[in-house]
Structure 1
Amino acid sequence: MKTVKKLYIPVLFKFWISHGFALLWLTFSVYLSLPWVRDLASVIGIVPAILSIAGIAYFPGYMNAFMVISLLIEKQPKLKVYNPTDPLSILISCRNEEKGIRDTLKFISQQDYEGEIKVIVIDNASTDKTGTMALGAGKDYNLNVKVIYEGKPGKNFALNKALKIVDTPFVITLDADTLLTRSAIRLLVCRLLSAPKEICAVAGAVLVRNSRKNFWTKIQEWDYFLGIASIKRLQGFYQGTLVAQGAFSLYKRDTLLEIGGWDDAIGEDIVLTWKMLHINCKVYFEPLAVAFTDVPETFIHFVRQRSRWARGMIEAVKKVKPWKQPTVFTRYLTGSNLLFPFADFVYTFIWIPGLILAFFGHYFIVGATFFYVLPLALLTNYVMYNFQRKVFQSLGLKIRKNVFGFFAYVLTYQIFMSPISVWGYTQEFFKLKRVWK
C-alpha cells in the first residue's frame, strides 16, 4: 500500500501567505476606521489623524494578523537527534548572586543531558561570596565548575573573558537566577543538531518563576508565557529569532569567535543576535527547552529592565542596519523594529491622553470605532495561549491560575510598556548613563 506524501509548503510561500492575510486585515481595518479618521481629522487635521491611527491601530493590527496566520500554519520541524553527547560549556555571569547561585547549579546537575557539561561562573566584581558559593555547590552537586573573576562591571566583559577559555563546540549562557527544567539543555542541543548547518544559535523558552509575588510579576507571567514566547516562535519559524537571550540560549563557539563575542552594549544579547543574522547565520527557538527566571518585583526595576530592552533594540538597529540583512525574513523581522518607536510614541502621547479624554465624554481618539478596528487582539491571545498550553502539556507542567494577571495584562500592559519604551529610546538618543538594575 502506497503512502501518501504530505504536501510540502516552502517557508517563503508561508511567509507571503501570512503577509497576504495581514494585508487583507489591514484593508478591512482601514475601511472600518473611516468614521474614526473623519472624527479625529476634524480636530487635528487629516494627515496627523491618519498617522495617529496608523500607530494606534493599523501597524499593530497588521503585525498581529501576520503573527496569528504564521502561528496557525507554522509547523516545528521534527527532531532528528534525541540523545546528543557533545561536550558543552555553560557561562554564568554573576554579580552578588550568592543567594541564588546554588539553586541554579543544582538544577544544572539534574539535567538529563548525556554529554560533558563544563560550568564557568564569572564573578563580575561581586562584593559578596558568589564565587565561594559556586565552588561549594560544584563540589556538592558533582559538577565541573570553574570560577573566574572579571573586575570590570558589565555582562559583555564577563562573557568575553569566559569565551577565551571555552574549549567546547557549544556554549550556553545562563542567568544566575534562572532554573532549568530537566530536559532543557538536551532539547536545545537536539534542536541545533537537527537543524541545517547554517543554524548557529537556539534560544530557549524563558518563563516567570516568581509570578505569585505581586501585581507586576503577575502581568509579566502572561507577557513571558504568551507574548514573548509566541513572538520568538514566530521569528524562529522564519529562521530569524531576533534575541537569543543571554538568560538561556545555546550558541556555536566558532560563530561567537567569528563575530567577536559580545559588544559593549546595554542590550548585548540583542546586538549579538543581529550580528549573527547579518553574517547569514540563522537563529532558531526551541519552545520545549524551558527555564524559569525571576522577573522584576517593583515598578522601578520593571521600568529599568524594559527601558533597557528598548534601548538595546536601538543599539542593534544602529550597529546592524535591517536593510543590510541577507534574507527577506530577517530584513522584515528586524525592519519592523524601525516602526516600534513611532508606534510607542503615538500610543504614549496620543492614545493614552485619548483614553483619559474618553472618560470625560470626548471620544474622537478613543471611541466605539476603535474597538471595531482591533478585535484581532482576542484571537491573537487565544492562538498564543493554545500553543503554549500544548507546550506545557508535553512537558507535564501545569499552567498556573492567574486570571487577574491575564486581564491586567490584556487591558493595561501596553499602557505601561509604551511610555517605558519611549523612555528607553530617549536614554539611547541622549546617551544617558546605563542602569542595569
Structure 2
Amino acid sequence: MSVDAPQLFKQPSSSQHVVPTLLPRTAANEQRRRWNYLSVRTKFALTLVLSLAWAVLSYVVAQQWMTELSKLAGSVLAHLMIVGIAILPGFMNAFLVVGLLLDRRPARHQFADHELPGITVLVAAYNEEDSILATLASLEKQDYPAPIEVFVINDGSSDRTMELLRSVRYPWLSVIDLKCNGGKANALNIGLSHATYPLTITLDADSYLYRHALRRLVERFLSDPPNTAAVAGAVLVRNSRENVVTRMQEWDYFHGIAAVKRLQSLFQGTLVAQGAFSLYRTDILRTVGGWPECVGEDIVLTWAILREGHRVGYCEDAITFTNAPTTFHQFVRQRQRWSRGLIEAFKAHGELLFRRRMSTLFIWWNLLFPYMDLVYTLVFIPGLLLACFGIYWLAGPMTLLVLPMAFLVNGLMYLIQSRMFHEQDLKVRRNPMGFLLYTLFYGIVLQPGCVLGYAAELLRLRKRWGTK
C-alpha cells in the first residue's frame, strides 16, 4: 500500500470513539499574588534594560580594541566583527542571567484524576528496531489516569521495526503501517487524522519517558494561561555515556537548551515545541494545517501557532531521555537541519518579527544567529589560531568581556537544573570531561555546522532528514 493509503493495525482499545472533552483550565495568573509580585511585563522590561546596560558598558570598554582593529580592517568591518564576537553574546548572556534570576513561575497545579483530559500520543518511527519497544514500555509505565491512545506510525521502515510492533499488545496501542517512507511530517499528519482527544503529544521513537512525564506535561498545560496552545517537554540525553560526543551534548541539553526554553516560556513564547516530546491542542494543530513538509517541521509548526496569537509554554519537569548523535558527523548534520529549519521558519512566518509581543525579541534574537555564527566561524576561530602565535587582532584580552556573563549563565543554569533534578529524584552525574569539551570546543564544531545549514537552505540545496 502507498503512503496515501496506510494500513492500520488497531489493537483493542477502550478509548475508541471518545468525544473530546472540555479542558479544565486553572490559569496561572489567577493565583493570589505575593506582596513582592512583579508582573511578567515588568520583569521583561527590567531584564531588557539591565542587559542593554551591560552591552553598552561592553561597547565602551571595547573602544580601544575597535580602534586598533579599524586600522587593519576599517571601522565598519571592525564594528561588525567585535559586535558579533563580544557585544551581542554579552547582551544575550546578560539577558539570560537577569531573566532566570527573575523567573518565579507559578507552581504546576495538581489536578484530580477525573479532571485530566484524554490524550493522543503520536510516535513516528523509521528504522527504530533498537529502541521502539523501550519507548512503548516507558509509555506503559506512565501513571496517566485518563484515557490515552497511542498511534505508532511506521514510516516505511526497512528493518525489523514493524515486526517488533506486531509482537507487542497494549490496549492503548494502534500501529499505522506506511509501506513507503514519506517523511516525519507526513507520518505525524496521518496520525493526527486519527486523533480523537483534545490534546495531542508527540514522542520520538527513540525516547524514553521518565516517570509522571505525561501527567506533568498535561498539568503544566492546564496550569498555564488560557491562551496556551502548546507546551514543550524537557529533553535530556539518554546515551550520554557512550562517547565524548554524547558527553558534550549532555551539557548542551542540560544547560543551554533547557535554560533558553525556560526563559522564552517566562516571556510568553517558547520558539520550538520540539517533536521529541511536546503537547499541542489538537484543534489548533488542525487549524494551522498540522506539520509542514520541511526539514524543521517542529519549529515551523511552533511559529505557525505563535502567528495565530497563541502562547507556547515549557514544562521543565516533564522529562524524556533521547538518544543524541554519536559521531561528530551525525551531530553536525543534526545542527545543519536545525539551522535550515530556522531559515524555513523565517520564510514561512517572518511577519512575527513585527508582532507586538514580548516573544518578538526572541524572534529577532534568532534572526541574529546566522550573522553571529558567521562571525564566529570566519573571525573568532581564525582569531584563536592567530592568538596562539601572539597575534591578538581578533581574539585577545578584550574577548574576556564575554566571560563574566558566560560564567554566571552556566553557574545559574547548573543551580536551576540541579534543583529540578533533586526534586525528581534524579542525580546529576559527574561528567567533567564532557563539560570541559563543551566549554572549549562545542562552539568550534557547532557554529560552522550551523553556517553550512543556513547556506544550504538559502541556496535551496537538496533536503535530507539526516538525523533527528
Superposition deviation, residue 134 in structure 1: 2.1
Residue 183 of structure 1 aligns with which residue?
Answer: 212
Superposition deviation, residue 210 in structure 1: 0.5
Given that residues 157 and 181 in structure 2 are in contact (C-alpha distance below 8 angstroms), is that contact kept between their aligned partners in structure 1?
A: no
CA distance in 2 between counterparts of 1:223 and 1:266 reads: 22
Q: Counterpart of 2:125 in structure 1: which amino acid? A: C
Picking from 137, 141, 148, the partner of 1:110 is: 141
Given that residues 32 and 373 in structure 1 are in contact (C-alpha distance below 8 angstroms), is that contact kept between their aligned partners in structure 2?
A: no
Superposed CA offset, 1:358-389 (max 9, x none):
11111111111211343211111001111100
Q: Work out whether 1:409 is the aligned partner of 2:452.
A: no
CA distance in 1 between counterparts of 2:220 and 2:137 reads: 24
Q: Work out whether 1:164 is the aligned partner of 2:190.
A: no
Residue 399 of structure 2 aligns with which residue?
Answer: 370
CA distance in 2 between counterparts of 1:218 and 1:263 reads: 32
Residue 87 of structure 1 aligns with which residue?
Answer: 118
CA distance in 1 between counterparts of 2:307 and 2:221 reads: 19
Superposition deviation, residue 215 in structure 1: 1.3
The farther-off stretch of 145-154 and 255-264 is 145-154
Residue 229 of structure 1 aligns with which residue?
Answer: 258
Cα pair distance change 1:424/1:401, threshold 3 Å: same
Superposition deviation, residue 342 in structure 1: 0.5
CA distance in 2 between counterparts of 1:136 and 1:310 reads: 38
Q: Work out whether 1:149 is the aligned partner of 2:177.
A: yes
* TM-score of the pair, normalised by structure 2: 0.90
Residue 399 of structure 1 aligns with which residue?
Answer: 428
Residue 70 of structure 1 aligns with which residue?
Answer: 99
Gap regions ≥5 residues in structure 2: 1-31
Q: Counterpart of 1:144 in structure 2: which amino acid? A: W
Picking from 293, 309, 319, the partner of 2:322 is: 293
Residue 123 of structure 1 aligns with which residue?
Answer: 154
Cα pair distance change 1:4/1:360, threshold 3 Å: closer
Superposition deviation, residue 40 in structure 1: 1.2
CA distance in 2 between counterparts of 1:13 and 1:165 reads: 43
CA distance in 2 between counterparts of 1:275 and 1:404 reads: 40
Cα pair distance change 1:33/1:324, threshold 3 Å: closer
Superposed CA offset, 1:272-303 (max 9, x none):
00000010110000000011000000111111
Cα pair distance change 1:326/1:38, threshold 3 Å: closer
Q: Work out whether 1:16 is the aligned partner of 2:45.
A: yes
* TM-score of the pair, normalised by structure 1: 0.96
CA distance in 2 between counterparts of 1:351 and 1:216 reads: 22
Residue 25 of structure 1 aligns with which residue?
Answer: 54
Superposition deviation, residue 36 in structure 1: 1.3
Q: Work out whether 1:215 is the aligned partner of 2:269.
A: no
Aligned 1:347-362 pairs, distance under 5 A: 347-362=376-391
Q: Secondary structure at the match of 1:292?
A: strand
Q: Secondary structure at the match of 2:358?
A: helix
Q: Secondary structure at the match of 1:128?
A: coil
Given that residues 231 and 315 in structure 2 are in contact (C-alpha distance below 8 angstroms), is that contact kept between their aligned partners in structure 1?
A: yes
Alignment length (residue pairs) = 432
Picking from 208, 225, 242, the partner of 1:196 is: 225
Q: Counterpart of 1:274 in structure 2: which amino acid? A: W
CA distance in 2 between counterparts of 1:112 and 1:282 reads: 27
Given that residues 280 and 326 in structure 1 are in contact (C-alpha distance below 8 angstroms), is that contact kept between their aligned partners in structure 2?
A: no
Picking from 359, 380, 387, the partner of 2:416 is: 387
Superposed CA offset, 1:29-79 (max 9, x none):
112212211221121111111110011111111111111100000112112
Superposition deviation, residue 152 in structure 1: 4.0
Given that residues 36 and 370 in structure 1 are in contact (C-alpha distance below 8 angstroms), is that contact kept between their aligned partners in structure 2?
A: no
CA distance in 2 between counterparts of 1:324 and 1:345 reads: 21
Superposed CA offset, 1:229-287 (max 9, x none):
00000111112000000000011100000000000110000000000001011000000
CA distance in 2 between counterparts of 1:143 and 1:37 reads: 66
CA distance in 2 between counterparts of 1:188 and 1:325 reads: 30
CA distance in 2 between counterparts of 1:267 and 1:189 reads: 24
Picking from 327, 335, 340, the partner of 1:306 is: 335
RMSD: 1.5
Cα pair distance change 1:397/1:322, threshold 3 Å: farther
CA distance in 1 between counterparts of 2:270 and 2:402 reads: 29
CA distance in 1 between counterparts of 2:386 and 2:371 reads: 22
CA distance in 2 between counterparts of 1:64 and 1:143 reads: 48
Percent identity between the two aligned chains: 44
Q: Work out whether 1:267 is the aligned partner of 2:305.
A: no
Superposed CA offset, 1:65-98 (max 9, x none):
1111000001121123434531111100001112
